[in-house]
């Protein structure tokens, strides 16, 4: 039996993808506050009601992929070898996250960079990102503690994940002209977990 999603599911994915792309492009062109849900829906060639089938507000479009983190982290942690150190596991996890096919856009895609710039410059999005990152950091620290119950206490797990998330957030939302994104994320993670190289 095929793992390929059915026609209806593929259509839903295409619609969601079109809404995400339209929203990010409009936010970039017109500004986040000046863009309406009706304009996003029109650009994606759907009705505003269809928009609300996928998202309850326009800020959710920017964070649409956040629901994928837990599953991708769990997948990376499941592949942990017995001798893999916590820092190595986190670096491998970041590599797997940054190259995963599940995201709406690859990390090195133009829309990923536009999204990062929007989060850095739009106060409402920045606030949302900070809350989401704090939650992700807590979940990641918990998973790390579970993976290394004898080696890591809560302080060490929190410090490692805080350094990691903070470093990635800092480079993703800085005004540096970086490309490709995947390499920059990996370098930031390496610096955070291993120090300056």
Overall fold of domain 64-194: Tetracycline Repressor; domain 2 (1.10.357)
Banded model confidence at residue 136, pLDDT cuts 50, 70, 90: very high
Residues 6+ positions from 116 with CB-CB distance below 8 Å: 172, 173, 181
Provide CATH 1.10.10.60 ranges for the chain.
Answer: 7-57
pLDDT digits (tens, 9 = 90+) for 168-189: 988 887 766 666 678 888 888 9
CA gap 98, 115 in Å, rounded: 15
pLDDT above 90 for 162: yes
pLDDT, one tens digit per residue, over 51-73 is: 999 999 999 999 999 888 888 99
Over residues 127-144, the mean pLDDT reads 94
pTM of the full structure: 0.83
Can you give 135-186 as a three-state secondary structure string? HHHHHHHHHHHHHCCCCCCHHHHHHHHHHHHHHHHHHHCCCCCCCCHHHHHH
What is residue 99's predicted lDDT score, i.e. its pLDDT? Answer: 84
Ranges for all domains in the chain classified under CATH 1.10.357.10: 64-194
Give pLDDT, residue 108: 77
Longest dimension (CA), the chain: 54
Assign domain 7-57 to a CATH class: mainly alpha
- Mean pLDDT across the chain, nearest whole number? 90
């Amino acid at each position: 039996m095929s793992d390929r999603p059915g026609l209806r599911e593929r259509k839903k994915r295409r619609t969601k993808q079109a809404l995400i792309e339209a929203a990010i492009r409009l936010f970039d062109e017109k500004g986040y506050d000046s863009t309406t849900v009706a304009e996003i829906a029109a650009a994606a060639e759907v009705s505003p009601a269809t928009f609300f089938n996928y998202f309850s507000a326009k800020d959710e479009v920017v964070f649409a992929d956040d629901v994928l983190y837990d599953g991708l982290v769990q997948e990376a942690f499941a592949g942990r070898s017995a001798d893999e150190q916590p820092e190595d596991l986190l670096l491998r996890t970041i590599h797997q996250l940054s190259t995963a096919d599940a995201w709406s856009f690859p990390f090195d895609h133009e829309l990923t960079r536009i999204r990062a710039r929007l989060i850095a410059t739009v106060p409402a999005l920045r606030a949302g990102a900070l809350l989401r990152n704090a939650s992700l950091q807590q979940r990641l620290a918990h998973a790390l503690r579970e993976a290394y119950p004898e080696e890591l206490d809560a302080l060490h797990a929190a410090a490692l994940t805080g350094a990691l998330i903070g470093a990635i957030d800092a480079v993703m939302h800085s005004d540096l002209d970086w490309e490709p994104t995947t390499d920059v994320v990996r370098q930031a993670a390496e610096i955070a977990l291993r120090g300056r190289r």
